A = this chain, B = another copy of it.
Amino acid sequence: MEYEEMSELKERVLTLLSEKNFRELKRIINELQPVDTAILLDEMNDKDILPIFRLLSKENAAETFVEMSYDGQELLLNSFTDAELKAVFDEMFLDDTVDIIEEMPANVVKRIIKQSDAETRKLINEILKYPRDSAGTIMTVEYVSLREQWTVKECFDRIRKIAVDKETIYNCYVTDDKRKLIGTVTVKDLLLHDYETPLTDFMQREVISVEATDDKEFVAQQIAKYDLSALPVVDSENRMLGIVTVDDVLDVMEQEATEDMSIMAAVTPSTDTYMEQSIWQIWKNRIPWLLILMISATFTGLIINTFEGTLHAISPLLFASIPMLMDTGGNAGSQASVTVIRGLALDEIRPKDALKVLWKEIRVSALLALCLSVVCFGKLYLLDGLAFGNPYTWDICLAVSLSLFATVVLAKIVGCMMPMLAKVCKLDPAVVASPFITTIVDALSLIIFCLISMGLLQA
């Protein structure tokens, strides 16, 4: 729904509410997609949310609730009667329940758990035990399991009976009497065989599965690589625990990309959207990195301090090239680092490729550096020197260009190797991205510049 439609809708809903025309209001909001209802409610004033929410049908209520912001959910949970709370959670799929429980304060969680039946409570507790960001935390336990001796007809009878409670029914899992996963079959396969054919004749016996403790990023990679619509999750003894569906993975991929981008820009990632975060949260996510990087940058200052007198004596013009050297070094480094970090994240580059990557970057950087140095020399000598009459002698231009060459090559090497090193050390490669590499490259390029200038130009 476009922004304009949404504002119109909001106006209309508020008018109906003030007119107490609940009949029409009920009709309108039950015709919306639950996602859109959620967006609408999140934009309402606190006092209007509950009266509107109460007009939703049972199914719409649960689906809308799942899509709302955590703030909106908490507000509703605090206003719900016990019966309302139970009604909403009974309609929800278990993985959504667990997502909400993980974000709510303890007193709210207690109320939710209290309203669940014993079986659900047990399942919730099991899922909550899986490590953070593991397959177990994003799986759903509502899947269709079949037995290998069943015929197609028996399978369809089973599916027809239980389909209404399952998030996805198109991928079915064949388990033995110890719940071990022995095969899979899709509804499409079932439709392509006669009603009397037994499953064992055509089920797929080679199954791609993940363990509940595997990282959810790995799960996303597997689903993307093998173009699956669902992936079974098993325990260490290959017993079926649940499934991860491709729509859960879409969210994981979006989150992971956002996380990597945040970390690369020196921001602690957050699961809340920017508009949801308070200024204190934003401050908290940004200040540590700015402080660390500021302190490290002062060491670059020490280098300038050490050489300032000498450089000034040689030629005050030398200072003018420092920002250009630092910026170009930083840019060259972050080009290499971001490329490698993204390659590692998508599993297109692996730690064993380290030497290949290094050799590639050395050649690319030599080409880039050559090109930049020639342009830099020409610009300083011809434009700033001859045309604008600044006293740029050929040896000053040479010193700057040589420093630029060395800076670009070094920046590329540091830029490509740091993320590889982080990966080998089992750290997140994104952590060593641009800002850190810039700080290192700044210091290196300044030292090179000072040394080359002194070597070439000092009488």
Contacts and interface: CB of A to CB of B under 8 A. Distances in A.
Given A316-B309, A346-B254, A159 B226 contact: no
Contacts of A120: none
A343 B438 contact: no
B368 A290 contact: yes
Given A191-B159, A274-B348, A293-B328, A261 B323 contact: no
Nearest to A312: B312
A275 B343 contact: yes
A251 B250 CA distance: 10
A106 interface: no
A290 B378 CA distance: 16
Interface string A125-148: 000000000000000000000000
A387 to B, nearest CB: 13
Given A273-B343, A302-B320, A364-B282, A223 B206 contact: no
A348 B42 CA distance: 13
B301 A308 contact: no
Given A33-B208, A375-B291, A367 B283 contact: yes
Interface residues of A, number: 113
B250 A331 contact: no
Interface string A197-231: 00000000010100000000000000111111100
Contacts of A367: 279, 283, 287
B305 A390 contact: yes
Contacts of A300: 323-324, 327
A233 B123 CA distance: 40
Contacts of A31: 206
Contact of A320 (B191, B301, B316, B408): B301
Which of A297, A331, A434 has the most C-beta atoms of chain B within 10 angstroms of its own C-beta?
A331
A159 B312 CA distance: 82
A290 B379 CA distance: 15
Given A246-B229, A390-B305, A434-B265, A379 B295 contact: yes
B350 A3 contact: yes
A423 interface: no
Interface in A287-314: 287, 289-291, 293-295, 297-298, 300-302, 304-305, 308-309, 312
B274 A349 contact: yes
B250 A223 contact: yes
Contact of A265 (B156, B320, B334): B334
Contact of A323 (B228, B290, B291, B446): B446
B170 A291 contact: no
Given A31-B206, A160-B191, A246 B250 contact: yes
Interface string A157-193: 0011001100001100000000000000001100110
Interface stretch (A16-24, A74-82, A236-244, A352-360): A352-360
Contact of A266 (B250, B266, B335, B379): B335
A346 B164 CA distance: 32
A247 interface: yes
Nearest to A337: B265
Nearest to A328: B294
Nearest to A324: B297
12 contacts: A163-B188, A169-B187, A169-B191, A227-B247, A229-B229, A257-B257, A265-B334, A265-B335, A286-B335, A287-B371, A301-B323, A304-B320
Interface of A: 3, 31, 33, 35, 156, 159-160, 163-164, 169-170, 187-188, 191-192, 206, 208, 223-229, 246-247, 249-251, 253-254, 257-258, 260-262, 264-267, 273-275, 279, 282-283, 286-287, 289-291, 293-295, 297-298, 300-302, 304-305, 308-309, 312, 316-317, 319-324, 326-328, 330-332, 334-335, 337-340, 342-343, 346, 348-350, 352-353, 356-357, 360, 363-364, 367-368, 371-372, 375-376, 379, 384, 390, 408, 434-435, 438-439, 442, 446
**A-B complex: 6 closest residue pairs judged by Cβ atoms:** A301-B320, A265-B338, A257-B257, A300-B323, A297-B324, A297-B327
